[in-house]
Amino acid sequence: MPVRSDETTSSAEVGKSGKRGSVTGSASSRPRKPRDSLNRSVIIDAGIAIAERDGLDGLTFQALGRELGAHATSVYRHFRDKDEFLLEILDTLRERSYGETLVTTGDWREDLRLLASRIRAHYLKHAPFAQQMSVRSTHRKNEFTNLEFTLSALETAGLTPDDAVVFARLIGNYIRSMSSFEAAVGCLDPELRAKDRVQMQLGAQSLKPEEYPHLVAAGSTLLPLDDPRVFDLGLEALIDAVAAQGARTASS
């Protein structure tokens, strides 16, 4: 990512004394922080604050420089590029949300429910990052911990190692996609969400019963997009599928 300096200096702006003069149009006149005052943790916290306030589009190294009172190039001393920085943010947020809490209950079904509830709550808490969290692999400690926990539960359920990796991906994708979807819905204006639901219900009820008999009958009971029962129902269906696969393995 190209980085533009906050200041530009020409030879005309240097006085006879050899000292740098003031620059018209300088982005900021705030004193910059000493280099050694910045570290990865401080920069990550600033990045989280920017993204939660301005969205991920606003998370640039120039914005970080302004937030930290430092030159944008100082961030490169700690992170290779924006992508590495984003992955570190995602892993840090995961650690803060539920790090060290994935401890087996002794029941593989409850372990999978625990995993799902922790990840879902994490996504809803950090909605601005949900889309990136759902599609990126951070290949860092907390992602490895999640996968190890999942594989352990699945093998306890009686799945072969080959089946376990398939179901781990299925369950992981379900939890991430549903959680990301709910987080996106939660970011909508509450009035807009309510309006959408009412219009869907009224629209369904106004249809011709002979053309849409089931939809007209269900119109007043249609669920909102992020009804939590849907997440739980899907998760239980996956758990039942794991149990069935384990039973087939045991009988073969």
pTM for the model stands at 0.80
The Cα–Cα gap between 213 and 205 comes to: 10
- Whether the Cβ atoms of residue 173 and residue 183 lie closer than 8 Å to each other: no
CATH code at 103-187+222-251: 1.10.357.10
Q: What is the pLDDT of residues 148-177, one digit of tens each?
A: 999 999 999 999 999 999 999 999 999 999
Nearest to 49 by CA among 33, 37, 66, 36: 66
Distance CA 119, CA 87 (A): 17
Domain spans of the chain, in order of start: 103-187+222-251
Nearest one of 61, 70, 58 to 28, comparing CA atoms: 70
- Token digits of residue 220: 């007043």
d(CA 206, CA 216) in angstroms, rounded, equals 7
Q: Dihedral sign for Cα 157, 161, 162, 165, please.
A: positive
What is the model's pLDDT at position 35?
52
Residue 23: which pLDDT band, with cuts at 50, 70 and 90?
Answer: very low
Q: What percent of the chain has pLDDT over 70?
A: 85
Please say whether the beta carbons of 44 and 64 come within 8 A. Answer: no
Q: What is the pLDDT of residue 74?
A: 87
Residue with tokens 């369904």: 204
Least confident of 31-35, 73-77, 83-87: 31-35
**Residues in CB range of 41: below 8 A, 6 or more apart:** none
